[in-house]
Structure 1
Amino acid sequence: MSCAFLGGEIINPSNNYVVISKENNVLDTINLDQNNRFLYKINPIDPGLYTFSHGGEIQMVFLEQSDSIVLRLNNLDFDESLVFTGHGAKENNYLINMFLQNEVVNNKILRMSQASPEKFENDLDSIKAIFQKNFDEFKTKYKTSDLFNEIAQANIDYNFYAQKELYPFTCYGNTERKNLDELPDGFYDYRSNIDYNNEKLKNYFPYYNFLKYHFNNIALQSHFKHSKDSIFNNKSLDYNLDKIKFIDSLVSNDSIKNSLLKFAAYRYVNSSNQIDDYTPYLNSFLEKSTSKKNNEQITSLIESLINLKPGNTLPNTLVSNNAGEELHLTDFIKGPTAIYFWSYNMKNHFIESHKKIQELRKKYPEIDFVAINIDNNEDSWVTYLKQHQYPLKNEYHFMHPEISKQILALNTINRVMLIKKDRTIVNGNTNMFSKHFEVELLGLINQ
């Protein structure tokens, strides 16, 4: 049988469907039945990693020929409650357990990273040896396939490689330059074994996350060689140009390269307010990226951000209030205003941002804090606010979300816009969770 089945039950679903994908391509959207269950046949099966998503949460499942896997999870505790049964379940339960163990171990490793590089490396090797021993016993006992073994081994290797790439950034006692200078010989010997073009792993979290950390690190090492900087500055144009240069030179797989370039561009543009640096960065990006879609997205984003530079007038777009009345975005700006955004697909951000704003309203009554929901469903947002017992005052919804998000360059939910009474922009790209945010609010009041 050259097919496979994936089904399951979702307790406390946030909507009535799940999405099955492979390599970022959506295979199908499957509706849940009256019992919150689903069943999907993949025919023909392309063995490897698939993703299933529900309500903004995402997880991976490993499928091979003739597998028939049933998953069960509680949407309120998505990853921790996920279990698999059926043919092929043992491999998937192993992978989800590794995922959860990695989360715990990575927090422990973060504390370990305050030690000297020699001690850190020894302790890290000891933990990795435990993971390796458990995996060796598992694959021997269950006679797992070569493909599964490759993926599970990559999980171990790249997760621990990532911790070594992160070490210079997470050892807080010294500058990043000093941390790098004091690394012992051989600390990064594993780099000679890196496969930058692994088609099977390109969407696998441990592999992809490692590549991101790796390019951050080698770009910083290069940057320090031709810079007097000693501290990591992720807003530096030169550093970010170095990063995409290395991605371009070391990665030949177009899919992996374009994905890493896009991620790097979003990270840079979202962290930097140096608008004059955007054009040289964009030119370098376009020389390297071969994805027409990505090129259009990054170009559009940068053009929109340039329009949002301080001193410009806030672009207008249509919103609705909780009564369904249509308004222009600028209609409710009567004084110093902070505009933030939320989505019910990002529950944690929704709760944390509203909690934060409740505190800030008490501290800065001179400022109007305005929330805008960015989701496509124009009815659910009010219900969602009521369910969480948040007041509806100063809550709005984009009438045309996709158009508005493009106009306001909303590629990240964390963006906050600070606007003067006369509707000119003070900062079109800040973050309420930044340690400098309250200083910016005081600056807005004093404009």
Structure 2
Amino acid sequence: MIRILLSTCVALLMGCSSTNKDSETVLFAGEIVNPTSNQVILMKGGLKIDSAKLDDKNRFKFKLASLENGLYHFNLAPEFQYVYLEKGDSLMVRLNTIYFDESLVFSGSNEETNNFLLDLFLTAEDEDSAMYTDYYELEPADFLEKIESLKQEKVSNLNEINSENLLSEEAVKLLTGSIEYTYNRYKEIYPFQHKRKTAEQNFHDLPKDYFSYRTQINYGDNTLTYLRPYYDFMKAHFGNLAYMSCVKNCKDSANDDSKQLHYKKHKLHLIDSLVVEKELRDNLFRNVALDYLLKKKDAPENTEIFLNEFKNVSKNNMHIEEIENLYQGITNLQPSKIIPNLEVLNFENQSKTLTEISANRKVLFYFWSGTNKKQYLDIFNRIAVLKEKKPEYELIGINIKTDFDQWKSIIATLGVDSTLQYHSTDFKELTEKLVLYPMNKAILTDNTVIVDGFSNIYKN
């Protein structure tokens, strides 16, 4: 109902605007209800194309003289979503940030492409959940039948939309890729999840043609590089290839202390040998590095070996500074180190440093964002429990990715002690220096000295 009402509003907003495909100029505009930022940023991959301020009616407009056809995304901090644009487009969007993805509606030229892409995104969220709760337990034949049924439903919908040739060849390729890689990713994950869910000792036997789709994989399609289903497929695919390769060929080559290092090196070299598109290579190498550095602490000497291998295979990686900063952040959060002297704001908008806040007392720092209500309510419920379990610690909350006034409003609504709450305005710096993965992280200090830099509020 929300999307139907918003669709009507978008149609009214469009007024007499029309598409002129003979023109190079692209118009992308819209209206934001309950904005969380005063500007919209248009991105292509990691490159900022332009920004547009919201006017007094919360409307924005991009008028771009020349734009390459393809997939972009627009950011309204802290959220973002895809938008597909072609030369000559006149496209409008309207959304309510309270619902964001669910409320978002496109109207104008390429509305069919963008609304269909959004529907695929929303459907995938539900289907991901169903895969883990129901479908991965199925026997291979039943699983494949279910996957094919879900996929064909999307293909039929796409064919119906395009029955009047409303979509360009590039748009059809993008939407087809989104469908194909979504369901092929499930196939990559299935052997591992089926084994885990059924507690089988070995991987289940699969039909001989189970991985036949792999012959059609394009490892160098720059039109799909930043399409989420394509990228997620690649992550699952290389994880599968690396693991199965190790199981088959490397049974005695790695002891327990170096298994993670051995496996991640395999993954790096597989990406290096198969992926030819520079940005996809860089992003996949980055993913391996983040996974290795964040998910399991390894011996310092192994970490050094990994970083050297990473730099060797991923020369001139656009994420190298981030990876090096992350490694330095991990090093700086080891026990007996002083907590990084980062600045945050208190409830009165006064600047305080973490060393000031943690001086002369024991502190448990935890982190939360106002963008996910369920998450922050769960966190505050857990903090109430920890207050009883750890009375010797002062429990200090640091908010990220939330507008300052919105943060204050949430604190007031929850009735939380505002003297124990702080707000960060530099998410990137805080994330890199405090290694904020995952959001359930906690840092324990004693008179500014780190006791545990990688704790978890749900494991304390």
Q: TM-score over 0.5 for the alignment?
A: yes
1:291 corresponds to which residue? Answer: 316
Cα shift at 1:77:
0.7
Cα shift at 1:320:
4.7
User: CA separation in 2, counterparts of 1:54 and 1:257?
Assistant: 27
* TM-score of the aligned structures, taking structure 2 as reference length: 0.84
- Percentage identity across paired residues of the two chains: 30
1:67 corresponds to which residue? Answer: 89
Where does the alignment leave 5 or more consecutive residues of structure 1 unmatched? 439-447
* In the alignment, structure 1 residue 188 sits paired with structure 2 residue 214: no
Deviations 1:174-223 (A, max 9, x none): 468722x5223221111111111110010111111111111121122123
User: CA separation in 2, counterparts of 1:107 and 1:325?
Assistant: 42
User: CA separation in 2, counterparts of 1:322 and 1:375?
Assistant: 16
Say which is worse superposed, 136-145 or 257-266, in terms of deviation: 136-145
Report the CA distance shift for 1:65/1:348 in structure 2 as closer, same or farther (over 3 A): farther
Deviations 1:404-444 (A, max 9, x none): 5554344764432123x3544332123335xxx13xxxxxx
Q: Which among 56, 73, 77 is matched to residue 55 of structure 1? A: 77
2:117 corresponds to which residue? Answer: 95
- AA at the equivalent of 1:353: I
Q: Which among 388, 410, 417 is matched to residue 443 of structure 2? A: 417
Please tell me whether the aligned partners of residues 373 and 397 of structure 1 are also in contact (alpha carbons under 8 angstroms). Answer: yes
Please tell me whether the aligned partners of residues 136 and 197 of structure 2 are also in contact (alpha carbons under 8 angstroms). Answer: no
- AA at the equivalent of 2:305: P
Q: Which among 138, 158, 171 is matched to residue 135 of structure 1? A: 158
Cα shift at 1:238:
2.0
Report the CA distance shift for 1:7/1:387 in structure 2 as closer, same or farther (over 3 A): farther
Q: Give aligned pairs, total.
A: 430
Say which is worse superposed, 128-137 or 322-331, in terms of deviation: 322-331
Cα shift at 1:381:
4.8
Please tell me whether the aligned partners of residues 275 and 306 of structure 1 are also in contact (alpha carbons under 8 angstroms). Answer: no
Report the CA distance shift for 1:42/1:354 in structure 2 as closer, same or farther (over 3 A): farther
- AA at the equivalent of 1:98: L
Task: Report the secondary structure of 1:236's partner residue.
Answer: helix
* In the alignment, structure 1 residue 167 sits paired with structure 2 residue 167: no
User: CA separation in 1, counterparts of 2:353 and 2:333?
Assistant: 20
Task: Report the secondary structure of 2:57's partner residue.
Answer: coil
Say which is worse superposed, 123-132 or 320-329, in terms of deviation: 320-329
* In the alignment, structure 1 residue 6 sits paired with structure 2 residue 28: yes
User: CA separation in 1, counterparts of 2:403 and 2:111?
Assistant: 36
How is 1:373-412 mapped onto 2 (pairs within 5 angstroms)?
A: 373-374=399-400, 381-382=407-408, 385-386=411-412, 388-397=414-423, 406-410=432-436
Cα shift at 1:285:
0.8
* RMSD of aligned alpha carbons: 2.9
Please tell me whether the aligned partners of residues 312 and 424 of structure 1 are also in contact (alpha carbons under 8 angstroms). Answer: yes
Please tell me whether the aligned partners of residues 29 and 91 of structure 2 are also in contact (alpha carbons under 8 angstroms). Answer: yes
Report the CA distance shift for 1:414/1:64 in structure 2 as closer, same or farther (over 3 A): same
Please tell me whether the aligned partners of residues 314 and 330 of structure 1 are also in contact (alpha carbons under 8 angstroms). Answer: no
1:237 corresponds to which residue? Answer: 261
* TM-score of the aligned structures, taking structure 1 as reference length: 0.86
1:114 corresponds to which residue? Answer: 137
Please tell me whether the aligned partners of residues 70 and 85 of structure 2 are also in contact (alpha carbons under 8 angstroms). Answer: yes
Report the CA distance shift for 1:337/1:223 in structure 2 as closer, same or farther (over 3 A): farther
Cα shift at 1:80:
0.9
User: CA separation in 2, counterparts of 1:156 and 1:234?
Assistant: 38
Report the CA distance shift for 1:53/1:331 in structure 2 as closer, same or farther (over 3 A): closer
- AA at the equivalent of 2:307: L
User: CA separation in 2, counterparts of 1:139 and 1:57?
Assistant: 30
Report the CA distance shift for 1:422/1:375 in structure 2 as closer, same or farther (over 3 A): same
Cα shift at 1:294:
1.7
1:441 corresponds to which residue? Answer: none
1:443 corresponds to which residue? Answer: none
Task: Report the secondary structure of 1:357's partner residue.
Answer: helix
Task: Report the secondary structure of 1:128's partner residue.
Answer: helix
Please tell me whether the aligned partners of residues 109 and 124 of structure 1 are also in contact (alpha carbons under 8 angstroms). Answer: no
Cα shift at 1:40:
1.0
1:201 corresponds to which residue? Answer: 224
1:40 corresponds to which residue? Answer: 62
Please tell me whether the aligned partners of residues 336 and 368 of structure 1 are also in contact (alpha carbons under 8 angstroms). Answer: yes
Cα shift at 1:120:
0.8
- AA at the equivalent of 1:104: D
Q: Which among 297, 300, 307 is matched to residue 325 of structure 2? A: 300
User: CA separation in 2, counterparts of 1:49 and 1:376?
Assistant: 27
1:340 corresponds to which residue? Answer: 366
Report the CA distance shift for 1:121/1:42 in structure 2 as closer, same or farther (over 3 A): same
Please tell me whether the aligned partners of residues 310 and 425 of structure 1 are also in contact (alpha carbons under 8 angstroms). Answer: yes
Cα shift at 1:261:
0.8
